[in-house]
Structure 1
Amino acid sequence: MELNNIKPASGAKHAKRRVGRGIGSGLGKTAGRGHKGQKSRAGGFHKVGFEGGQMPLQRRLPKRGFKSVALKFAAEVTLSDLQRIGAEEIDLLVLKAAGFVGELIKNVKVIKSGELSRKVVLKGIGATAGAKAAIEAAGGQVA
């Protein structure tokens, strides 16, 4: 094979549709653009969602919902997760090292799910009322 022998596969290339080239082509006169109007003219187009001056749908509908960016950097840890960690003093760095929360997490809260049978001391970590009671019942504390 040589460079002068290479050609595309059969059917891969086809002639471009030539518009505005006479009545026999099927796309003569208006060239498939219909009659008159902004869309029939050269350069005549408008932005997505434009409704000819009528108030667009995305502005007619009421605004709803909100996603807090702070939630992206928050995480939950269960009592059973705390049970599995070997350390007695638990803070954010210990949780990250153990792999229970991601590296970008800034806020952690302990929720009451599972059992805790050993003493743990939480530093800089929040806890729900039920989780706090369970930690204190096991001899630990939430600082």
Structure 2
Amino acid sequence: MIQQIGYTAEALATGAGRNGHVRSDDGRIDLDLAAPVALGGSGEGANPEQLFASGYAACFHSAMQSVARAQKIDLTDSSVGARVHIGANGDGGFEIAVELEVVVPSLPHDQAQAIADAAHLVCPYSNATRGNISVQVTVSDD
């Protein structure tokens, strides 16, 4: 449970959901949406899975930076990629699953993995999804 709110993001979806429009209250996000071709849509707009992947990748990377900073480790040239999968769950609904790929070229694999593991414990997206969806964190050497 949040003990003290530090920031609140607001967005409004209008139109036809996946084929509508989203806009943040400050206008920084202002996008037309379209279901991806793989789900029978036109693919001519962003989709919620892309937005979730972008947010999770950025948040996880920030969590890694925080963990590394506390250990006085430099993560220059590091990156986090996110893949968000969506598919039927067998109960008439849909589920998502996430793969995070961490690259830290300046560190040995084991050290990068330790930072990624620690970040997975503090990242708000990881904490929100833990126990709800599959999230796989992999450290890649390239």
Provide the TM-score with structure 2 as the length reference: 0.21
Structure with max Cα Rg: 1
Q: Which has the higher helix share?
A: 2
